[in-house]
Amino acid sequence: MATAAACASSLLAPPSASCAGTAASGALFPTSVPSLRAYPRLLLAFRRPAAAAVADPQGAAVLEEEDDETPVQFDDVDDDYEDGYGGRGPAFTAPTRPRTGKAALPLKRDRTRSKRYLEIQKLRESKKEYDVPMAISLMKQVANTRFVESAEAHFRMNLDPKYNDQQLRATVNLPKGTGQTVKIAVLTQGEKIDEARAAGADIVGSDDLIEQIKGGFMEFDKLIASPDMMPKVASLGKILGPRGLMPNPKAGTVSPNITQAIDEFKKGKVEFRVDKTGIAHIPFGKVNFPEEDLIANFMAVVRSIERNKPSGAKGIYWKTAYVCSSMGPSIKLNIKEMLDYGADSSN
């Protein structure tokens, strides 16, 4: 073995007499100099004495291992049975436990739903498209929680908001209100401070209110500012922007007429915009509203979206429309019937 190791360490050198004698006697190494890719195999041959190295036509050493294992004989195997993998023998199938309860539901998303949701889900057909009156009636029927749920509308529009001419952001005045109490803060100065308080603003201030907001004060739902305060409000962009509270002329929260702006938001003015996927989520009341009031608010939303259609919108503007309660399943609407119903109601 020492002689073989010495010969292996000098494969690139001319063969010595001892190494030549070893090769001639049919030992481990071939007579020609092997290629570099043979070295790992040669080293492996020293560590595994049960393997024999044989020279291939290219001069590389190839390992041939002796298989001492004898095949296992099966005497009781049925010759007419195949295991499906090219051999013969009985196949083993692990016993499966039958699924019960939610685990037996066909849809994976339903397995995490509550029992209440699974029961009310049976009241509507998931793939059916409803007209507006039927959808509103069904939405009120499935809202059975212990609190008063909000009525929500979700529209998928054929818009890509990353382009400036396809952004949809506007406001809508709900004729029957939102059913929520809106806390309004006003940033103004001079005589308009008294006008804002007389109009019903909950919080009114100027530079002092800006400092409070910088300190973390956020106890309001809407922030309205007069145009002369906007240079000072710009410093609040990083605080108000992520919360959707930054005053904006398109949203109606920057207005020279403070009294009118406060009155509109108190009566039910709602701001909406499409998200990055092109979907608009708009609340249009409470489920305890009469059906006629919910229909009036919903159609006001539809008309506002149609009226504020972006200039860059091409092809089909409306993709899908759904209504639902806060904790209830969505109900799909028929787009054509919805638009026709809006045209009839406006006339």
Q: pLDDT class for 137, splitting at 50, 70, 90?
A: very high
Q: pLDDT class for 2, splitting at 50, 70, 90?
A: very low
- Nearest alpha carbon to residue 178 among 247, 255, 262, 267: 267
Are 250 and 188 in the same domain?
A: yes
First to last CA, the chain: 104
pLDDT in tens, 34-85: 554 555 555 555 554 444 445 445 544 444 444 445 554 544 444 444 545 5
> What's the CA gap between 295 and 291, in Å, rounded?
6
Residue 325 above 80 pLDDT? yes
How confident is the model at residue 6, as a pLDDT? 47
Q: pLDDT class for 126, splitting at 50, 70, 90?
A: confident
How confident is the model at residue 142, as a pLDDT? 87
In a domain, 226, yes or no: yes
Question: Are 183 and 266 in contact, with CB atoms under 8 Å apart?
Answer: no
Q: Which residue, 241, 265, 289, sits at the end of a domain?
A: 265
Are 198 and 255 in the same domain?
A: yes
pLDDT in tens, 230-275: 999 988 989 998 888 899 888 889 999 999 999 988 888 898 999 9
State the average pLDDT over residues 101-120.
68
How confident is the model at residue 118, as a pLDDT? 73
Q: Which helix (H) or strand (E) holds 65?
A: strand 61-65
State the average pLDDT over residues 88-96.
60
Question: Regarding beta strands 279-286 and 150-157, do their DSSP bridges make them parallel or antiparallel, or are they unpaired?
Answer: antiparallel
> What domain range includes position 189?
184-265
Q: pLDDT class for 105, splitting at 50, 70, 90?
A: low
Are 276 and 160 in the same domain?
A: yes
How confident is the model at residue 33, as a pLDDT? 53
Residue 175 above 70 pLDDT? yes
In a domain, 196, yes or no: yes
Q: Where residue 324 sits, what CATH number does that domain have? A: 3.30.190.20
Q: Which residue, 265, 293, 327, sits at the end of a domain?
A: 265
> What's the CA gap between 224 and 204, in Å, rounded?
10
Residue 91 above 50 pLDDT? yes
Q: Is the dihedral of CA 282, 287, 288, 290 positive or negative?
A: positive
Residue 1 above 50 pLDDT? no
How confident is the model at residue 9, as a pLDDT? 46
Residue 299 above 90 pLDDT? yes
Are 247 and 189 in the same domain?
A: yes
Secondary structure percentages of the chain, helix, strand, coil, to 5:
35, 20, 45
In a domain, 211, yes or no: yes
Are 317 and 248 in the same domain?
A: no
Question: Are 273 and 305 in contact, with CB atoms under 8 Å apart?
Answer: no
Q: Where residue 192 sits, what CATH number does that domain have? A: 3.40.50.790
Are 206 and 316 in the same domain?
A: no
How confident is the model at residue 181, as a pLDDT? 85
Residue 332 above 80 pLDDT? yes
Question: Are 161 and 275 in contact, with CB atoms under 8 Å apart?
Answer: yes
Query: What pTM was estimated for this model as a whole?
Result: 0.63
How confident is the model at residue 150, as a pLDDT? 93
- Nearest alpha carbon to residue 263 among 274, 252, 273, 272: 252
The per-type count for the chain, helices as H runs and strands as E runs, is 12, 11
DSSP bridge pairs for 172: 270
Residue 95 above 90 pLDDT? no
pLDDT in tens, 198-231: 988 999 999 899 999 999 899 998 999 999 999 9
> What's the CA gap between 58 and 76, in Å, rounded?
47
Phi-psi region of 256 (alpha: psi -120 to 50; beta: other; left: phi over 0): alpha
Are 158 and 284 in the same domain?
A: yes
> What's the CA gap between 310 and 87, in Å, rounded?
67
Cα–Cα distances (Å) from 238 to 61, 234, 243, 271, in that order, read 70, 9, 9, 20
Are 204 and 152 in the same domain?
A: no
Q: How many domains does the chain have?
A: 2
Q: Which residue, 221, 244, 265, sits at the end of a domain?
A: 265
List alpha helices for the chain, DSSP H: 2-9, 17-24, 39-47, 115-121, 132-142, 192-199, 207-214, 230-233, 237-240, 258-267, 291-307, 335-346
> Could you tell me which residues come within 8 angstroms of residue 80 by beta carbon, excluding any fewer than 6 positions away?
none
